[in-house]
Amino acid sequence: MDVLGKTFQAGPSADGTYCQPCEQDNELLPAEAFCTVSKEFFCSECASLHRKQKMSRYHTLRNKSDMPTSISVIEDEYECTELCEIHPKENIKYFCPTHHTLNCGHCVVHNHRTCHVDVISDVSKAFKDGQEYGDVMKAIARLFENIDSCASDVENNVEAVAKLGENEIFKLGRYREEVNKYFEERQQALLYLLEEIKRMDDELLGSLKPKYTNLKSKLEEINVKLEGQKNNMIQLFIETKRAKKLLEVLQNDLADINKEHVVHYYEFRKDPATDRLIASDTGLGTLKTLRLSRTRSHPHPISFLTYEVVYLTFNQIAITFNEVFYKLTIYRQINIK
CATH number at residue 2: 4.10.640
* pLDDT interval class at 82 (50, 70, 90): confident
Q: What angle (nearest 5°) sits at the alpha carbon of residue 170, between those of residues 165 and 174? A: 150
Average pLDDT over residues 178-200: 92
Is residue 152 predicted with pLDDT exceeding 50? Answer: yes
Together in a domain, 252 and 146 = yes
Backbone angles phi, psi at 241, to 5 degrees: -60, -45
pTM of structure: 0.44
Lowest mean pLDDT among 111-125, 139-153, 272-286, 289-303: 289-303
Name the residue range of residue 211's domain. Answer: 140-336
For the chain, what is the domain count?
Answer: 3
Q: What is the pLDDT of residues 231-277, one digit of tens each?
A: 888 888 988 899 899 999 999 999 998 998 888 888 888 889 888 88
Do 167 and 59 share a domain, yes or no?
no
Q: Examine the domain organization and report whether 243 and 312 are in the same domain.
A: yes
Looking at 40, 58, 77, the residue that finishes a domain is 77
Q: Are residue 259 and residue 117 in the same domain, yes or no?
A: no
86's torsion region: left (phi>0), alpha (psi -120 to 50) or beta? Answer: alpha
Domain-embedded: residue 253: yes
pLDDT, position 12: 41
The CA radius of gyration of the chain, in Å to the nearest whole number, is 55
Quick one: 309 and 168 in the same domain? yes
Query: What are residue 18's DSSP bridge partners?
Result: 30
